[in-house]
Amino acid sequence: MGDKRHTTPASDTLALSRRSLLKGAAAAAGTTALGGLPGILQAGQAPAYPKGTKLHLLTRINFIPAGDKLFLEQAEEFGKQMGVEVQVERIGENDVTTRSSAAIVAGSGPDIIMLQNNFPHLLANGLADVSDLAEALGKEQGGYWDLSRANAYVGRQWLAVPYGVLSNTMNYREDWLKEAGYSKFPDTYEELREVGKKLKAMGHPMGQCFGHSVNDPNSWCYPFVWAYGGYEVEKDGKTVALDKKGTLDAIKLNTAMWKDSFDEGGLSWDDASNNRAFLAGSISVTNNGASIYFVGKDKFPDIAKVTNHAPNPRGPAGRYYHMATHSSALMKYSKNQPLAKEFIRWYMDKKQYEPWFIAMSSYMIPPTKVWFEHPAWKTDPKLTPFRDSIKDARHLGYAGPPSAKASEALAKYIMVDMFAKAIQGTSPEESLAWATGELKKIYAA
Amino acid sequence: MPVAGHPSLSEAAPLPSRGMIGAMTRPIRRLRQASRTERREWLFAFILLLPSLTMLGAFVAYPFLRGIWLSLTDAVVGREGAFVGIDNFIKLWNDSIFRRAAQNTFVYTAAATVLKLTLGMLVALMLNNLMGFKRFLRASMLLPWIVPTVLSTLAWKWMFDPTFSIVNWLLFRLGFIHLRIDWLGGPVVAMWSVILVNVWRGTPFFAITLLAGLQTISPDVHEAAAIDGASPWQRFWRVTWPLLLPVTMVVVLFAVIQTFADFQLVYILTGGGPANSTHLFATYAYQLGVATAKLGEGAAASIAMFPMLFLVVLFQLWYIRRGDSGKGGTQWRK
């Protein structure tokens, strides 16, 4: 690389991983100017990249602009140090998977794509093995949360490096709850319904999205079913198990809540609709990430002041969360694989990741356990429920192993439409039978 | 297409016969016998046609054939599939979401086309008879057609927003409603809302094309009918409509093809929801092929619309040809 050779800032804790990384980089590159891996280690320098090399990363638009801005700055810094051009492209979250599929089919496109949920399973054939990098990072940072691992570890290899977890918990207006006579957020779904009834009668209904949108509807529907003892498939990953009394109870309760507690607009909402409705003072409670609170702090301070967060309600079988995980997937077609790995390693390194995590105001839970006790979580106690939720997270397709089948069920909105059908007037039994039938077709294929 | 009381399709468009094959090979024979000058002209014509043929081959024929092949495989994103025969089509046949999408597509196409034709005709007649502001009104009317669909549909999404809908606000202020309408929430209202946006966007195409047709009709014909004592309605029904029918049929043909394969409107407004009540062939094919990575099944869903669309188009083409050849009711070239 001549004058533009770059050495990642020295760090004792990173020395081993640097070697691991370089091994991977050299293996992928096949050779290096200094005579392979020994040469690189001797020189203590990263491999050189031809002038004009471009690295392209595709990710979703975050709700926290400060985090996006910092990430862009970091990418630029990485580009300067490596003598390459780094392009960060942000698109709507609902389009990330489709862009990924199109890129894989075309065999060209971004080098790195931040995939959501368990889509590394769905797109496994188009992703490169990043086990060396993921394992090294996991070791350094106290190990991965189960959910992060479940979504990025496919078969016997890591097909993506976990980047963060987006938690949805209950966002609520403390002032209106107090007006309704409650000093704390209800603990169970039944209690929530009672509170919701009062709130709706006061003109402050709860709000929940049941449209075809990737995050919020799923984050409400999956945990509701799990909390009542329902789940998609048995441990064998083949036998569909949705048709249980618990699932039926969840559908019935949700339909009742729709009538007496919820805002009637939710069937056509997308992930941004409940944010807008909450900040406009139209709804009092919704299941969402911390984005409402952060935008409120910035633009609607009066609303942010009376906004708080609580854990998801509990059902007879427990309290659960579906969380949108984000993982950096290295595309198999990429001609810049060593460089792309280097970049992932760069932004996951504590030196870069920590300021980004702080800039994101704890909006995204880091994928590894070392961050659980980070002081940033203590700066605002209102955010604690988000941090704690990771412990009760379940992967899609529970109780079976993580799989592409579960991704397909998610992409087809089977669970969401089961609830939506019941809301629209189909009987809960028929809605459940429909969803079970659809899942059987998916899992039998 | 045997229709009672009408000539059969084979009469209107006979299958290639020995004579036709002869006619098709005639140019080749003529080329062999042609003089040098004629051969040069042929070559020149071929060179002129080559870009179009290349474009058609690359962007129409190849994707179409590739789509057919994919629909017969179990291809997923990142893996070439193996041949599975008609398995994907059998799966679709048993797929309740696909059946719903098929039903939705027919309702969507029929309702939107009829409404666009009616409104387009009214607008065209109005513009044809206007005395002032003709250019301004014609340009304004084309706006929905000119504005990129994605942008205008996003604007409609905002107007249909259950919480902030300006449509609801207006209706409420005018006293027409007391409770807000969730335009994209109920299965029926969502479908009609999507149709409304399609009609809004597609009406200018009908209007401007029909207006062009109207302007080719000689005023003498109308004057003659008026002198004979025909009322305005009779003049429209007995004079304007028959003379405009060829143009109308062509516009309807284009509109049916476009509407049947519509994607953008539904994808942006509802994503096929709620509970798949607005999924169309194209949006469901996209969901299957791209969002769930099952390229084979997605291609099958996409190809499945072809025979149905082909039959509709074939009928329309037959009807147009029927009129063109002077058989039946629409003898517009007399």
B246: Cβ–Cβ under 8 A, 6 or more apart, which residues? B213, B320, B323, B324, B330, B332
Q: Which site among A214, A259, A267 would you substitute to test the B interface, given the most B Cβ atoms closer than 10 Å to its Cβ?
A: A267
Candidates B185, B271, B294; nearest CB to A265: B185
Return the pLDDT at A145: 95
Q: Are A168 and A288 in contact (CB under 8 A)?
A: yes
Q: What is the largest CA-CA distance in chain A?
A: 75
Return the pLDDT at B112: 97
Candidates B162, B272, B293; nearest CB to A268: B162
CA separation for the pair A147, A329 (Å, rounded): 16
- Please provide residue A389's backbone torsions phi and psi, each rounded to the nearest 5 degrees: -60, -25
CA separation for the pair A230, A246 (Å, rounded): 5
- Closest chain B residue by Cα to residue A414: B275
Range list of H helices, chain B? 9-12, 18-33, 36-56, 62-71, 87-93, 96-129, 134-141, 143-146, 149-159, 166-173, 187-214, 219-227, 232-235, 241-260, 264-269, 281-286, 295-324
Taking contacts as CB-CB distances below 8 angstroms, the residues of chain B near A206 are none
Residue type, A133: L
CA separation for the pair B104, B98 (Å, rounded): 10
Q: Which site among A101, A254, A334 would you substitute to test the B interface, given the most B Cβ atoms closer than 10 Å to its Cβ?
A: A101
CA separation for the pair A28, A133 (Å, rounded): 13
Query: In 3D, which of A419, A444, A408, A389 has the Cα closest to residue A230?
Result: A419
Structure tokens at A68: 């996006």
More reliable by pLDDT, A361 or B302: B302
Beta bridge partners of A41: none
- Closest chain A residue by Cα to residue B81: A125
Hey, is B130 helix, strand or coil? coil
Taking contacts as CB-CB distances below 8 angstroms, the residues of chain A near B87 are none
Instruction: Give the whole-number percent of chain B exceeding pLDDT 70.
Output: 87
CA separation for the pair B88, B67 (Å, rounded): 13
Hey, is B72 helix, strand or coil? coil
| Residue whose pair of structure tokens reads 């006293």 in the numeric block | B175
**Distance (Å) from the C-alpha of residue B274 to the closest C-alpha of chain A?**
5
Strands laid side by side in the A169-173 sheet: A285-288, A169-173, A307-310
**Distance (Å) from the C-alpha of residue B100 to the closest C-alpha of chain A?**
13
A429-433, B33-37, B125-129: which has the highest mean pLDDT? A429-433
CA separation for the pair B310, B136 (Å, rounded): 38
Hey, is A94 helix, strand or coil? helix
What ipTM was assigned to the predicted interfaces of this complex? 0.76
How many CB atoms lie under 10 A from the CB of residue B202?
A: 26
B319: Cβ–Cβ under 8 A, 6 or more apart, which residues? B249, B330
CA separation for the pair B166, B150 (Å, rounded): 19
Taking contacts as CB-CB distances below 8 angstroms, the residues of chain A near B295 are 105
**What confidence category does residue B207 fall into, taking pLDDT thresholds of 50, 70 and 90?**
very high
Pairwise CB contact (< 8 Å): A437 & B76: no
**Distance (Å) from the C-alpha of residue A123 to the closest C-alpha of chain B?**
6
DSSP string, A36-80: HHHHHHHHT-PPP--TT-EEEEEEEPPS-HHHHHHHHHHHHHHHH
Taking contacts as CB-CB distances below 8 angstroms, the residues of chain A near B271 are 94, 211-213, 270
Q: Are A114 and A367 in contact (CB under 8 A)?
A: no
Query: In 3D, which of B242, B258, B255 has the Cα closest to residue B120?
Result: B255
A206: Cβ–Cβ under 8 A, 6 or more apart, which residues? A192, A196, A199, A200, A257, A261, A262, A263, A283, A284, A285, A286
Mean pLDDT of chain B: 85
Return the pLDDT at B164: 84
Which helix (H) or strand (E) segment holds residue A174: the answer is helix A174-179
Q: Which site among B284, B292, B294, B295 would you substitute to test the A interface, given the most A Cβ atoms closer than 10 Å to its Cβ?
A: B292
In chain B, the domains with their CATH numbers are: 21-87 (no CATH), 95-332 (1.10.3720.10)
Pairwise CB contact (< 8 Å): B293 & A122: yes
Return the pLDDT at A405: 92
A198: Cβ–Cβ under 8 A, 6 or more apart, which residues? A180, A181
pLDDT digits (tens, 9 = 90+) for B214-236: 999 988 998 899 898 889 899 99
CA separation for the pair B294, A213 (Å, rounded): 20
The mean per-residue pLDDT over the stretch B175-198 comes to 91
Question: What's the per-residue H, E or C state across B9-46?
Answer: HHHHCCCCCHHHHHHHHHHHHHHHHCCHHHHHHHHHHH
CA separation for the pair A341, A78 (Å, rounded): 12
Taking contacts as CB-CB distances below 8 angstroms, the residues of chain A near B292 are 122, 407-408, 411-412
Return the pLDDT at A97: 84
- Please provide residue A368's backbone torsions phi and psi, each rounded to the nearest 5 degrees: -110, 160
Taking contacts as CB-CB distances below 8 angstroms, the residues of chain B near A441 are 91, 94-95
State whether the Cα torsion A427-A429-A431-A433 is positive or negative: negative
B83: Cβ–Cβ under 8 A, 6 or more apart, which residues? B72, B73
CA separation for the pair A295, A280 (Å, rounded): 12
How many CB atoms lie under 10 A from the CB of residue B314?
A: 13
Structure tokens at B227: 């002198």
How many CB atoms lie under 10 A from the CB of residue B10?
A: 10
Pairwise CB contact (< 8 Å): B162 & A125: no
Low-confidence ranges of chain A (pLDDT < 50): 1-41
**Distance (Å) from the C-alpha of residue A273 to the closest C-alpha of chain B?**
8
CA separation for the pair B147, B140 (Å, rounded): 11
How many CB atoms lie under 10 A from the CB of residue B94?
A: 10
Q: Are B139 and B289 in contact (CB under 8 A)?
A: no
State whether the Cα torsion A15-A19-A21-A26 is positive or negative: positive
Radius of gyration of chain A (CA): 23
Structure tokens at A328: 């950096």
Q: Are A54 and A44 in contact (CB under 8 A)?
A: no
Hey, is A369 helix, strand or coil? helix
- The pTM assigned to this predicted structure is 0.80
Phi/psi zone of residue A251: left (φ > 0), alpha (ψ -120 to 50 degrees), beta? alpha
Q: Which site among B69, B73, B77, B279 would you substitute to test the A interface, given the most A Cβ atoms closer than 10 Å to its Cβ?
A: B77
- Closest chain A residue by Cα to residue B276: A417
The mean per-residue pLDDT over the stretch B229-255 comes to 90
Range list of H helices, A233-375? 245-260, 273-279, 291-299, 301-305, 337-348, 350-359
Return the pLDDT at A51: 78
Pairwise CB contact (< 8 Å): A211 & B272: no
Pairwise CB contact (< 8 Å): A404 & B293: yes
Q: Are A79 and A86 in contact (CB under 8 A)?
A: yes
